[in-house]
Structure 1
Amino acid sequence: MGALNQKSKFKPPAPTIRVQRVPIEKPKQLKPKPSPANSNYNLLQQQRAKPQSKAASPYPGSSSADESRRTKRKAPGGGNSRSPSVVKFDSDDTDGGEDGDNDVFLGARRKKRRLARVDPNRKLRHSKIWTGAVDEKEKGKERDPSIIHAADLANLKSKCQPALRMPEEEVGVELRYPGGRGRERYELVYGKDKIDAVKDITTVVKFVAENYLNDEDAQPFLEPSTGLIRQLQKSTNVNDGQAFKAAVKDYNKRLFALQKDGTIAKHLDSISSFPSDLVAFILDQVYDRTVAPKVELLLKYENGSDNVYGELLHPFITDILVEKTRMKSEQVFVDLGSGVGNVVLQAALEIGCESWGCEMMENACDLADAQLREFQARCQLWGVAPGKVQLDRGDFRTNERILEVLRRADVVLVNNQAFTSQLNDSLVSMFLDLKSGCKIVSLKSFVHEHKSASNDVAMSILDVEDLTYPSDYVSWTHQGGTYCISTKK
């Protein structure tokens, strides 16, 4: 045997391993990108993403590549929801660490208080909120206004499949809301471009617990290990439909008791605003049940004209109304070219102000009217009082009621991204009648750089602030862009 292959007579000492504990700082959780605001908006996006010439795009920079953008409309919160609005389910069926869960529980409560906006003139509670004065079993009871139930759109008859391993004959479930006696009908099913009943129900329960109850009353709902939301999450993770329905039944019973003893109404009287993620969720419920099923009607526009369609998403509007213009409930908001009414409804719900819109495209007007009906019904179900809403049809340049309300408007929105220069010049003439200090929010400036102050009317009557918005604030592109806030001198 060679020398190199012989075993050494000397045994080396065993290596020593040094163990040192090094504290690792917990990484900060990144702010999630906003997720789709509704389940059916992708139909519009898929249609727009079809190959077409660049000239067919109504908005600058929205090439066919750009138009293969988000598959669904986004929502608000810090980024238009539904990222804050949607409940994030755990990846397993365990209870998880108690300490971390308690931090989440307490953090949600603190966040709700921190985001609350104070408006002493805002009366948040709906005048027709149900407070238990009439027992549900009594005949001749006053019923809640008619809503479009989730089960009317997402059901076994519309090519959906049972969720959570539920037998077909047992997919039906009803959900109670904090402001009304009636319940919304759901079917626990799933289907492409359909309302996700499981997620929708869980999110409603989460928002009710976080925004309609004090810490003590919310404990049975939000308790990390055994609370109702945890039960809904666990049953979803393990596909246990019967457990999910049992948790919904328990929630309905508990909420019914809180309505009857006046807890819900009392809490609404103590606050003057909802967080932006709840505002976005309510608006998305309205959109999903009215616009989304007929969204293909919005594809019909005349390229190269003023009749084009694009949406400013929830977080953009929250930023404008809450942060930039600081609107209050006693003020007046006007949207010139209001489309399906999204922004008008958001201003009325989030701020509580008098909110006006005017649109001339017939299909958009029809969908706006449908949204307004559903919006008013759902506000009553949620127990919240929006500001007065008025949606007018026709050309805002000649609509007498719009011209009159502009004289007392505090904030005017014009999504003039694709307006012709002639229409923008006509708007400047209309702005002559605005009161001093009125804010005009627009995607493009009304002041022409190539003109001098002597012959530019806009420059003589407006002080313009140029601003930028981040990605995912508008429906026609992922990218950010620029906008203006002009103040009437």
Structure 2
Amino acid sequence: MGIFSARGKSGIKAPERQIRVETVAIQPKPKPKPAVSRPDLTTSNSASRLSSPAINRVKSSSPYPSGSSTTTENGSSAQRKRKAAGSVGASPASPANKFDSDSESDSEDGNGLLDGRRKKQRVFTEDPNRRLTHPRIWTGAVEEIKPQIREGGRGGQVIKERELRIVHAADLANLKEKCKPVLGLTSEEVEIELRYPGSRQRERYEIVYGKDKINAVEDIKKIVRFVYENFIPPEDAAPFDPHTGYCRQLERCSSSTINDGVGFKAAIKEYNKRLFNLQKSGTIKKHLDSLHSLPSDLVAFIMTQVYDRAVAPSVEITRKYENGTDNVYGELHAPFISEILVERTKMTSDQVFVDLGSGVGQVVLQAALEIGCESWGCEQMETLKPLADDMLKEFEARCELWGIAPGRARLICGDFLQNERIHKALKRADVVLVNNQAFTSQLNDSLVRLFLDLKPGCKIVSLKSFVHEHKSTSNDLALNLLTVEKLRYPDDYVSWTNKGGEYCISTRK
């Protein structure tokens, strides 16, 4: 009853870009022809209306998860649904900060992404109490780098800067794992390090490609683009611009017509230097201090990074479940979780979220990152505990790497019907998620009795209603306890089917 699928490497599906369609009528000329209406702007079949007019969001078309999984789970679907990007043809880029732009990329880059500054529309309604800046964000001050002291070296001691314990992309996708160099680089040229906005530490990459491995080129391009869109103030954004800056150079050098690995690495090094200066000057921190929400596509990307590094190498463990029992996996994809948390239940950072049957903890961690709330998860299957522990460690380190402060997340292994810590959390909960698609009727009835301790107004999100339609009011505890709203979710929101379906939001009376 976890939150991921056994079909592919990664269990996160990123939100798809949605484009508003307007009809603009041209006023008739006074003479001599009658009025002529301008035809509607057209979009692909995947483009639909925004799910809620109160939420000003445009979904990204970036193919997630990062890496080669774009051609595995959900990859073909994502490719069908995004707008095809034109090819880029230009001379090899130099290490300079600005580059010529092509007409094909004036509005979109090679990934079909909207211009970063216009993409600010996709941010959800902000929570004014949410603090995004990580308390340990690096700005160059000595006191912000906690030293580790060990014996040895000159004078008997060696002082090392505080090191984040992340899983580097190069630990999983490298030449030793039978990956091949790309962009015309030799085996001796593939190593590179990439800087993030929140830490002095950099992540190690090898510019290689391997089946079902992290795609270094695509991962790096997305990171640089997200940094440009979300961490750089407008007055400092020009060197990162997708038309004339680092984003542009990375796209050009990685295109099939250019294939310039040397230029690609040069752009990364220049990007690293520029970002380092913005970190050290406090510019990144000051900009994050002014923000109070994260765009859903950045949330999905960070969660994909965490999953690919902590769970994907041992994904076979997640496929060992018992048919005919309550321990059956079913994943709710990231866009579904965003809709539930932000649009439907309107969670804020001062609230409490609980996931009953949390698997390796993806939904719990997404809630902590996207909302900034206190977030709890409970999973009974002990085989998943090592993966959940690795997920939490990687999540916390990677949030610091990005400079983002998540809410407090706790992942507990145990029976949620019996666990006292979960019972205490449920009494304070504002939103409870139960993916009860495959739960037995006995377990659902037991959960209803557990809901007696929920505070009035608490929202329970479930795939099936807890109210039995065949029972009368007099003998149905759930009917007397809960007010149920039935809703529809669209295609590709869950792992067990590509079709849309029904879910419920019940409110504790």
The TM-score, its normalising length taken from structure 2, stands at: 0.80
Q: Which position in structure 2 is the counterpart of 1:275?
A: 295
Q: Which position in structure 1 is the counterpart of 2:53?
A: none
Q: Which position in structure 1 is the counterpart of 2:42?
A: 28
Q: Aligned partner of 1:112: which letter?
A: K
Deviation of residue 74 (structure 1)? 7.5
Q: Which position in structure 1 is the counterpart of 2:250?
A: 232
Instruction: Report the Cα distance in structure 2 between the residues aligned to 1:252 and 1:127, rounded to whole angstroms.
Output: 22
1:391-406 counterparts in 2 under 5 A? 391-406=411-426
Q: Which position in structure 1 is the counterpart of 2:161?
A: 142
Q: Tell me the SS of whatever aligns to 1:165.
A: coil
Instruction: Report the Cα distance in structure 1 between the residues aligned to 2:176 and 2:108, rounded to whole angstroms.
Output: 43
Q: Which position in structure 1 is the counterpart of 2:395?
A: 375
Query: Contact 2:88 / 2:102 at 8 angstroms: preserved in 1?
Result: no
Instruction: Report the Cα distance in structure 1 between the residues aligned to 2:380 and 2:108, rounded to whole angstroms.
Output: 50
Instruction: Report the Cα distance in structure 2 between the residues aligned to 1:270 and 1:113, rounded to whole angstroms.
Output: 16
Q: Which position in structure 2 is the counterpart of 1:197?
A: 216
Instruction: Report the Cα distance in structure 1 between the residues aligned to 2:311 and 2:69, rounded to whole angstroms.
Output: 9
Q: Tell me the SS of whatever aligns to 2:286.
A: helix
Give unpaired runs (5+ residues) of structure 1.
1-21, 43-69
1:177-256 counterparts in 2 under 5 A? 177-224=196-243, 226-237=244-255, 238-256=258-276
Would the alpha carbon gap of residues 335 and 275 (structure 1) be closer, same or farther in structure 2, given more than 3 Å must change?
same
Instruction: Report the Cα distance in structure 2 between the residues aligned to 1:40 and 1:295, rounded to whole angstroms.
Output: 15
Q: Tell me the SS of whatever aligns to 1:432.
A: helix
Q: Which position in structure 1 is the counterpart of 2:65?
A: 37
Q: Which position in structure 1 is the counterpart of 2:462?
A: 442
Q: Which position in structure 2 is the counterpart of 1:473?
A: 493
Q: Which position in structure 2 is the counterpart of 1:414?
A: 434
Is residue 341 of structure 1 aligned with residue 337 of structure 2? no
Instruction: Report the Cα distance in structure 2 between the residues aligned to 1:377 and 1:210, rounded to whole angstroms.
Output: 22
Instruction: Report the Cα distance in structure 2 between the residues aligned to 1:129 and 1:330, rounded to whole angstroms.
Output: 22
Q: Which position in structure 1 is the counterpart of 2:72?
A: 71
Q: Tell me the SS of whatever aligns to 1:413.
A: strand
Query: Contact 1:147 / 1:374 at 8 angstroms: preserved in 2?
Result: yes
Q: Tell me the SS of whatever aligns to 1:140.
A: strand
Q: Which position in structure 1 is the counterpart of 2:30?
A: none
Could you report, residue by residue, the CA deviation over 1:352-398 in whole angstroms, capped at 9, with x for unpaired residues?
Answer: 00000000112222211110000000000000000001111110000
Q: Which position in structure 1 is the counterpart of 2:138?
A: 130
Instruction: Report the Cα distance in structure 2 between the residues aligned to 1:484 and 1:41, rounded to whole angstroms.
Output: 31
Q: Which position in structure 1 is the counterpart of 2:22?
A: none
Query: Contact 1:126 / 1:384 at 8 angstroms: preserved in 2?
Result: yes
Instruction: Report the Cα distance in structure 2 between the residues aligned to 1:88 and 1:261, rounded to whole angstroms.
Output: 39
Deviation of residue 350 (structure 1)? 0.1
Query: Contact 1:37 / 1:82 at 8 angstroms: preserved in 2?
Result: no
Deviation of residue 121 (structure 1)? 1.1
Query: Contact 1:74 / 1:314 at 8 angstroms: preserved in 2?
Result: no
Instruction: Report the Cα distance in structure 1 between the residues aligned to 2:339 and 2:306, rounded to whole angstroms.
Output: 21
Deviation of residue 140 (structure 1)? 3.0
Q: Aligned partner of 1:394: which letter?
A: G
Query: Contact 2:66 / 2:218 at 8 angstroms: preserved in 1?
Result: no
Percent identical pairs in the alignment equals 62
Is residue 313 of structure 1 aligned with residue 341 of structure 2? no
Q: Tell me the SS of whatever aligns to 1:407.
A: helix
Is residue 92 of structure 1 aligned with residue 88 of structure 2? yes
Would the alpha carbon gap of residues 34 and 266 (structure 1) be closer, same or farther in structure 2, given more than 3 Å must change?
closer
Could you report, residue by residue, the CA deviation over 1:426-468 in whole angstroms, capped at 9, with x for unpaired residues?
Answer: 0000000100000000000000011011100000010000011
Q: Which position in structure 2 is the counterpart of 1:117?
A: 125
Instruction: Report the Cα distance in structure 2 between the residues aligned to 1:291 and 1:231, rounded to whole angstroms.
Output: 32
Q: Which position in structure 2 is the counterpart of 1:170?
A: 189
Query: Contact 2:221 / 2:247 at 8 angstroms: preserved in 1?
Result: yes
Q: Aligned partner of 1:418: which letter?
A: A
Query: Contact 1:40 / 1:72 at 8 angstroms: preserved in 2?
Result: no
**Which one is further off, 291-300 or 347-356?**
291-300
Instruction: Report the Cα distance in structure 1 between the residues aligned to 2:180 and 2:140, rounded to whole angstroms.
Output: 37
Deviation of residue 123 (structure 1)? 0.7
Would the alpha carbon gap of residues 106 and 161 (structure 1) be closer, same or farther in structure 2, given more than 3 Å must change?
closer
Deviation of residue 37 (structure 1)? 2.4
Deviation of residue 223 (structure 1)? 4.8
Could you report, residue by residue, the CA deviation over 1:59-82 in whole angstroms, capped at 9, with x for unpaired residues?
Answer: xxxxxxxxxxx931589xxx9x89
Q: Tell me the SS of whatever aligns to 1:486.
A: strand
1:451-470 counterparts in 2 under 5 A? 451-470=471-490
Would the alpha carbon gap of residues 25 and 323 (structure 1) be closer, same or farther in structure 2, given more than 3 Å must change?
same
What is the root-mean-square deviation of aligned Cα atoms in Å?
A: 2.8
Instruction: Report the Cα distance in structure 2 between the residues aligned to 1:377 and 1:451, rounded to whole angstroms.
Output: 49
Q: Aligned partner of 2:421: which letter?
A: R
Q: Tell me the SS of whatever aligns to 2:194.
A: strand
Q: Aligned partner of 1:190: which letter?
A: Y
Instruction: Report the Cα distance in structure 2 between the residues aligned to 1:468 and 1:359, rounded to whole angstroms.
Output: 26
Instruction: Report the Cα distance in structure 2 between the residues aligned to 1:71 and 1:169, rounded to whole angstroms.
Output: 29
Instruction: Report the Cα distance in structure 1 between the residues aligned to 2:63 and 2:379, rounded to whole angstroms.
Output: 28
Q: Which position in structure 2 is the counterpart of 1:13?
A: none
Is residue 328 of structure 1 aligned with residue 348 of structure 2? yes
Instruction: Report the Cα distance in structure 2 between the residues aligned to 1:74 and 1:423, rounded to whole angstroms.
Output: 35
1:259-270 counterparts in 2 under 5 A? 259-270=279-290
Query: Contact 2:122 / 2:296 at 8 angstroms: preserved in 1?
Result: no
Q: Tell me the SS of whatever aligns to 1:108.
A: coil
Q: Aligned partner of 1:486: which letter?
A: S
Instruction: Report the Cα distance in structure 1 between the residues aligned to 2:221 and 2:296, rounded to whole angstroms.
Output: 18
Give unpaired runs (5+ residues) of structure 2.
1-35, 48-60, 91-99, 148-157
Which residue of 319, 325, 350 maps to 2:370?
Answer: 350
